[in-house]
Amino acid sequence: MVALTINGELVEAKEGMTVLEAANSAGIGIPHLCSEPDIKPYGACRVCVVEVTRNGRSSVTTSCDLPVEEGMVIDARSPAALKTRKMMVDLLLSRCPNVRPLKHLAAGLGIKQPSFSTENPAEDCILCGLCVRACDEVAQKDVIGFVDRGQQRKVTTAYDQADPYCASCGKCIKYCPTGAIEHVPGITVKGLGRIWIYLRQAVQVGMLALFLYLIYNTVRGKVLPVPANLFSRFDPLMALVAMIGGKELIANMIPALITIVVTLLIGRVWCGWICPLGTVLHAYGPKFPKLPNWLRSIKYILLIAFVGGALLGVLAFMWFDPITIFVRPLAGTVFPYLLQKSAPIAIPDGLAAQRVAEIPLRPLIHRELLIPLGIVLFLNLFAKRFWCRYLCPLGALIALTSKFALIKRYVDKKICFEWGCCLHSCPMDTIAYKDLSSDPGECIMCMDCIGDCPSGSTKFGRKAKPTWVYSYDPSRRKALVGVAAGVAGAFLLRMDAFKSKYQYLIRPPGAEQNNFLSKCIRCGQCIKICPNNALHLVAKEGGIESHLTPVLIPRTGACDWECNSCGQICPTQAIPKLSLEQKRKQQMGTAVVNTEICIRCLLCIKECPVKGALVQGTIEGLKGKYPIVDATKCIGCGACEFICPIKGEAAIRVEAPPKSA
């Protein structure tokens, strides 16, 4: 054994060991780039320089090829060693300014910018020769080597032609300290987990296709293999807010617990694998925007505001749920447009010979419903998954749950090449440059990093300890801001100054006028399933709080006597799930006759489905027969208003109950 001193510590090393090996065995770190234990030392990068003192003389030399000697004194941190190391790293960084290991070394030495510029900033080969020596000593094939001189010097195969040996060997790959080996002809560096990416993409496409299929086939009487509101029922934000707002347990939303349990087990897979809007947003946009990281905290503030508003019975903030953002334009714009273009005009029986007055026999197209989705898609041009990173309240809820997930992403430092391939693959830009760790709350488990990892060091496994160390994580101050925003928003939304005095705000059958707004999540699925084009999402009528909630507009279509589909599709049961018999007894409003414009055609009596609700009779002071409404029997279905042939406003209108919200 040989005794020597390294950085002031007495170290014993075996004869024949190098100073670098002795330091490593003693747990003393000496920076280096081109040294590997199974390849002969070469001293190419000159980063491992140390100051050696022997027999009273000192010199600066590389430690990777310096044999240990009895009594020698090694100082890797002396001014002379640091000055030389800094100069060597500066030169290497000037050649390869974007290589991650070099930037780490430079930061540790206080180098902020390289001293010299380069014409090829993408260069990542530091000409250490590790791959060449690995091909010679480990693979024993001598296929790759150095060619040219000076700035044109590079590692390649003979005549830059791919060699058949390289396609199946790959033994040089793990020795490259910078990842430049990927550019050598014939050498293919593949991630070991590409199958996970293909699987995730297949699931994403399948879920998006299922989502579109369910929305398209959300029609009355059509039996689907799965519930038409499947995605809404698994949405934990909808479940949480609707139950808090309605102050009751909604059995329809219990499947959302499955999403929470899955998230606690394997993280934020809802966002990365299931969410249809997330699938669309994953397809384009820059991965690494120059945006401050604190923006990620906005989604947590919005989540807290949502919950705060729900505690006060206000669910208007559900405009921003990602499922509702995607459902509404499909249900109210896209599919009605397709149907309007393809379906023939069908004139109801009995009206062919009558005067049809401005009755839209095809679905109305609500183009304004495209605006929220358009904004979300536009923001993605600034950052891939901009909505998911910074704004999505559902993503915030799942992110908080993912902090406690059993399975999390981590990097096995023992086999990691430190190339940083995972940095360039993460669509959420959540992998830290310093140590390649990631925030489990921001990681959407997309597996892009494991698919691009050349060493297989990126793994997913049991990491039960929550990581609550990021600057954008929820704090007490952010929670207070969120609560304040929720309370203030709820107060403003309920102010009468924002409401229009609109007496015809008729809610779907069974919807309770007094608490409908505290249950409705504004998803728009009811308007898609309505067969008669009767339900529509209200715009400004009833105030901002009522925005995008469903109302019955009889002039465009009556509530079908044979239909109870809206209650079946409503995920939160704001429209209750009623049998057909129960639905026929629900009073949505009451018809009122305007005798000044009534032409006494009595078509309304003929079309009224409720026996005795509309009869003909005389009115004092007026001549002739008029329709007479029995308010005790009329349910406000709107068949009378729809059929009225008067041009413009009908002579018989359905008015909502007095306590209309």
HEC string of 431-469 equals ECCCCCCECCCCCCCCCHHHHHCCCCCEEEEECCCCCCC
Structure tokens given for 179: 């990842």
- 357 vs 121 pLDDT, higher one: 121
d(CA 644, CA 642): 6
The answer to whether 609 touches 319, Cβ cutoff 8 Å, is no
Q: What is the structure's pLDDT at 47?
A: 94
- 357 vs 131 pLDDT, higher one: 131
Residues 345-369: pLDDT tens digits? 454 454 433 434 444 455 677 888 8
The torsion angle over the Cα atoms of residues 106, 108, 113 and 116, rounded to 10 degrees, is: -40
User: 106 phi and psi, to 5 degrees?
Assistant: -65, -40
Report which secondary-structure segment, H or E, holds 640. helix 639-643
Structure tokens given for 635: 């349910």
The residue-averaged pLDDT of 141-156 equals 90
Strand bridging mode 49-54 / 57-62: antiparallel
Residues 69-96: pLDDT tens digits? 999 999 999 999 999 999 999 999 999 9
Burial of 547 (0-12, 13-18, 19+ CB in 10 A): middle
Residue 385 pLDDT exceeds 90:
yes
Percent of the chain with pLDDT over 70: 94
Eight-state DSSP code of residue 552: E
The answer to whether 259 touches 240, Cβ cutoff 8 Å, is no
The residue-averaged pLDDT of 26-45 equals 91
Q: What is the structure's pLDDT at 499?
A: 57
Burial of 532 (0-12, 13-18, 19+ CB in 10 A): buried
- 398 vs 195 pLDDT, higher one: 398
d(CA 73, CA 577): 84
The residue-averaged pLDDT of 615-620 equals 89
The answer to whether 613 touches 636, Cβ cutoff 8 Å, is no
Which residues are 616's β-sheet partners? Answer: 627
Q: Confidence class of residue 409 from pLDDT cuts 50, 70 and 90?
A: very high
Residues 296-319: pLDDT tens digits? 999 999 999 999 988 888 888 888
Of 121, 123, 103, the residue nearest 113 (C-alpha): 103
Domain spanning 2-108: CATH 3.10.20.740: yes
- Average pLDDT of the chain to the nearest whole number: 88
The residue-averaged pLDDT of 124-147 equals 92
The answer to whether 148 touches 177, Cβ cutoff 8 Å, is no
Whole-prediction pTM value? 0.85
The answer to whether 522 touches 319, Cβ cutoff 8 Å, is yes
Residue 263 pLDDT exceeds 90:
yes
Give, in words, the CATH class of 130-183.
Answer: alpha beta
Kindly list the distances between the CA atom of residue 392 and the CA atoms of 292, 296, 378, 419, in Å, as whole numbers in the listed order. Answer: 17, 10, 15, 32
Q: What is the structure's pLDDT at 375?
A: 96
d(CA 272, CA 162): 37
Report which secondary-structure segment, H or E, holds 304. helix 297-311
Of 489, 506, 211, the residue nearest 329 (C-alpha): 211
The residue-averaged pLDDT of 291-295 equals 93
Kindly list the distances between the CA atom of residue 511 and the CA atoms of 242, 283, 507, 573, 575, in Å, as whole numbers in the listed order. Answer: 15, 39, 6, 9, 5
> How many other C-beta atoms lie within 10 A of the C-beta of residue 471?
10
CA 453 to mean position of chain CA atoms? 23
Position 454, amino acid: P
d(CA 4, CA 594): 108
The residue-averaged pLDDT of 545-561 equals 88
The residue-averaged pLDDT of 311-336 equals 88
User: 309 phi and psi, to 5 degrees?
Assistant: -65, -40
d(CA 635, CA 151): 87
Domain spanning 497-661: CATH 3.30.70.20: yes
Q: What is the structure's pLDDT at 350?
A: 47
Report which secondary-structure segment, H or E, holds 214. helix 194-216
User: 604 phi and psi, to 5 degrees?
Assistant: -65, -35
Eight-state DSSP code of residue 34: S
What is the largest distance, in Å, between two alpha-carbon atoms of the chain?
130
Structure tokens given for 407: 């399975």
Q: Confidence class of residue 370 from pLDDT cuts 50, 70 and 90?
A: very high
> How many other C-beta atoms lie within 10 A of the C-beta of residue 529?
24
497-661 shares the fold of 130-183: yes
- 351 vs 180 pLDDT, higher one: 180
Report which secondary-structure segment, H or E, holds 75. strand 73-75
d(CA 605, CA 387): 52
When mean pLDDT is compared across 42-46, 64-68, 129-133, 347-351, the lowest value belongs to 347-351
User: How is the chain split into domains, by residue range?
Assistant: 2-108, 130-183, 194-216+227-339+371-462, 497-661
Eight-state DSSP code of residue 272: I
Return left, alpha or beta for 313; rule: phi > 0 is left, psi -120 to 50 is alpha, else beta: left
The residue-averaged pLDDT of 457-468 equals 82
d(CA 537, CA 560): 18
Q: Confidence class of residue 508 from pLDDT cuts 50, 70 and 90?
A: very high
Report which secondary-structure segment, H or E, holds 550. strand 550-552
